[in-house]
Structure 1
Amino acid sequence: MPNTLKRPADQWSPLYFLASVGAGGLSVTFYMYLMHWVPHPGKTVAVFEDITAALASGNPALTVAIAIALAGIAIFGALNLSLLIWNLRKMRGFAASEKGRALANSNAQTQMMALPLALAMSINGGFILGMVFVPGLWSVVEYLFPLAMVAFLAVGWLAFKQLGQFIARVTASGGFDCAKNNSFAQMLPAFALAMTGVGLSAPAAMSANVTVAGIALILSSFFFIAAVLITVVGLILGLRSIMENGVAAEQAPTLMMVVPITTILGILMLRQAHGLGVSFEAEMAAADRMMMLTRLLSVEVLFAAFGLTVLAATGYARRFLTGEVISPGNYALVCPPVAMSVLTQFWVNNGLVAAGLIEKFGVAYWALTAVALALQAVAVALVIFLHRRHFRATQSGALRTA
């Protein structure tokens, strides 16, 4: 029988939600241009009116940067939403399938938490699209904050429901295979809860209503603590199994999952610090903010170095990126450079510049910002490469899905 054309992604896995997450994260990296380079007096973020005012200023370099940012936000924002919809369609009936039942009775059950992660990312990404492309949105934003909080709480409820089902199964009847937990895959629940928490923290930083800001502070703190606890547990369990059994080669990218979790929690803390200053007169000193961001970035550099070392040692690129085996877990590679790019931008602008260590738009500023832009370029290239590899039709049998 002749081979027929098919797409590797048609052999769906919950990890394909990470494709949507990665695209959404890339839209955030482009928003960093607007956030840090476009003046937005009286607001914590740059919105449509600030962008149009900056374009009217006639600064050629800023105009080019804004054009690139708008194009990036539009393209990757649309890709984020389209991939979310595609995944939701593919997910229908998965739980009742043989593959779905097998996943629900294995360590990989927590892969389903890629769903709330993707939903939370898309809500965050949708807010960015609104701020950038919808005129007058800021004038009604106080009405939107409670709605957004309800949406994030619904996602958080879904995440805790899925996590509770997993914990109930493995604690009541066992079945968690510690030997096969030789990765940091069990940090995915922390990733989902952190993404929900950072969404809930937005009103804390942006709302002028003290009650709304206070509720956002409390709710986001709860998700912050939950994410930190699960990260620590996942780190301990995974590292113990890795040291005993060696890393699961296909899941080696999860060793860098700490990187995006750190960035998300870092943004959450920045938003909370700003909200405490504006609404409760407890402003964080610029030097303290610089040191917090420096420590968080140090964590990311160390885990990125660790992950890349293991990827090289296992021959991950040769086996799962350019070889015959296609793994949905490839998309976990996108999140670390995206996260490091975003945190580097915050470190430079909200840390070093705010503390007076370097001058904004000076030589040192652009040298460090170039690192963030290089990481962004790596992530863009990865998304393009992976999209072609997973979603381009090939001869069946030419590639096999892991």
Structure 2
Amino acid sequence: MTHTAKRPADSYSPLYFLASLGAGGLEVTFFMYLMFWVPHPDRPVPTFEDIAAAFATGGLPMQAAIVVAALGIAALTILNVKSLIWNFTALAAFRKTERYTALRASNAETTLLAAPLASAMTINAMFIVGLVFVPGLWGVIEYLFPLALVAFLALGIWALRTIGDFLGRVLSQGGVFDVTAHNSFAQLLPAFALAMIAVGLSAPAAMSESTLTVGIALVLSSFFGIAAMLYTVIAAITAFSSMLQHGTARESGPTLMVIVPIMTVLGIMALRQDHGLHTAFDAQGTDGETMVFLARLLTVQILFVLLGLTVLLRQGYFTDFVFGTQTSPGSYALVCPGVALSVMLHFFVNKGLVAAGVIAEFGPAYWGLTAIALALQVAMIALVLRLNRQHFGKTSQAAAVPAE
């Protein structure tokens, strides 16, 4: 490939929204410190007041964890929002080009779903910022839930319209969808977007004390969650068939692990819904059932990570696109599985094993398993910094290769 731009990111692809998504996801990994290590007995999530009390009364390890979490959340929020703004600006310019017209007529039209996906992640991230840094937020939280529902529903309508444009085109006309280029899980991006919107809509179900708000959140999140599941199954089956015939598209190899973040997001949605059903409608599952549920999700994730890594290593993807001189905006899809697996491990350890009494909280087994989640977090931070230098650096030897 020849050098056609000052930096790879100047050859724009909507997949660059995944850079914003990755930063937002990493913010959540730092929130896990506060979620599971800071006591918050009166609320489902820790707030500024809980964090301040834990810092004032806790020992040095607790204080260090809080400082690291706060700094991580602040830094990654800035990176998340900065990247999102850059992407919308670049997308506006991209829409005026012939490349955009060509994209809308190809399989890659679904990459446009990266925009509502990243936007939903940013709303979730800003909610975390409010909990951590804004005193007294919980006192007005019930007024914010309807606004959050409206915001996520608007993103859901945007996503459904974009999906409708794509499916309407390819299903109403013959021969416009290139099946030979369907040899990856790139077409699962719409499902990921729907799942992220679903988990956002489920948040009020877990935190609101209003039966009406909980009920609306349960219904809306169920709609988008089920839509994400159906799209995932259909797109994955048809894509796997194409991969068996044509092999996996090299630039889209990282999408083989997109199942991992989808499972984490839908898993959190299910936990939030269960909490809402318990608090508002007196329906409750057992801790053992939650543990097994999370173990099943984690099993699926590990299997797809193994599958993805097997293919990527065979194809030399990391050698060329991560540590080499070639670039592809699809490389940012590598961040999502690591982040999602880290978050899922925190939930499995705390909401699964500890809650069910299998291991002791803060014991050797606890920290042994948590260390895996922390190692994944550190690795994904390093990966984001590496990819940002590759794609947004001033000097580059190769232009970005868009993933179909």
TM-score by length of 1: 0.97
Distance 1:340 1:322 in 2: 22
SS of 1:401's equivalent?
Answer: coil
Distance 2:26 2:259 in 1: 18
Distance 2:337 2:4 in 1: 35
- The superposition leaves residues 67-104 of structure 1 with CA deviations (integer Å, 9 ceiling, x where unpaired) of 00001101111111110000000011322311101110
Once the 2 structures are TM-superposed, how far is the Cα of residue 4 of structure 1 from its aligned partner? 10
Percentage identity across paired residues of the two chains: 56
Instruction: Report the counterpart of residue 231 of structure 2 in structure 1.
Output: 230
SS of 2:93's equivalent?
Answer: coil
Distance 1:321 1:376 in 2: 17
Distance 2:58 2:182 in 1: 56
Distance 2:314 2:355 in 1: 40
Instruction: Report the counterpart of residue 374 of structure 1 in structure 2.
Output: 375
Contact kept, 8 Å, 1:7 with 1:390, in 2: the verdict is yes
- The superposition leaves residues 298-336 of structure 1 with CA deviations (integer Å, 9 ceiling, x where unpaired) of 000000000000000111012222333210001000000
Distance 1:204 1:329 in 2: 34
Instruction: Report the counterpart of residue 207 of structure 1 in structure 2.
Output: 208
Once the 2 structures are TM-superposed, how far is the Cα of residue 6 of structure 1 from its aligned partner? 2.0
1:268-279 aligned at under 5 Å gives the runs 268-279=269-280
Q: Which amino acid aligns with 1:266?
A: G
Contact kept, 8 Å, 2:110 with 2:190, in 1: the verdict is yes
Distance 1:278 1:58 in 2: 30
Instruction: Report the counterpart of residue 97 of structure 2 in structure 1.
Output: 97
Aligned-residue CA RMSD in angstroms? Answer: 1.1
Distance 1:35 1:7 in 2: 39
- The superposition leaves residues 230-282 of structure 1 with CA deviations (integer Å, 9 ceiling, x where unpaired) of 00011101100000000101100000000000000000000001111111111
Instruction: Report the counterpart of residue 127 of structure 2 in structure 1.
Output: 127
Instruction: Report the counterpart of residue 74 of structure 2 in structure 1.
Output: 74
Q: Which runs of 5 or more residues in structure 2 are unaligned?
A: none
SS of 2:184's equivalent?
Answer: coil
Q: Tell me the matched-pair count.
A: 398
Distance 1:212 1:4 in 2: 52
Contact kept, 8 Å, 2:7 with 2:399, in 1: the verdict is no
Instruction: Report the counterpart of residue 189 of structure 1 in structure 2.
Output: 190
Instruction: Report the counterpart of residue 13 of structure 1 in structure 2.
Output: 13
Once the 2 structures are TM-superposed, how far is the Cα of residue 11 of structure 1 from its aligned partner? 1.3
Distance 1:319 1:130 in 2: 40
1:365 aligns with 2:366: yes
1:168 aligns with 2:168: yes
> CA 1:4/1:300 → structure 2, altered by over 3 Å: closer, same or farther?
closer
> CA 1:228/1:4 → structure 2, altered by over 3 Å: closer, same or farther?
closer
Once the 2 structures are TM-superposed, how far is the Cα of residue 284 of structure 1 from its aligned partner? 1.3
Q: Which runs of 5 or more residues in structure 1 are unaligned?
A: none
Distance 1:4 1:344 in 2: 42
Contact kept, 8 Å, 2:156 with 2:197, in 1: the verdict is yes
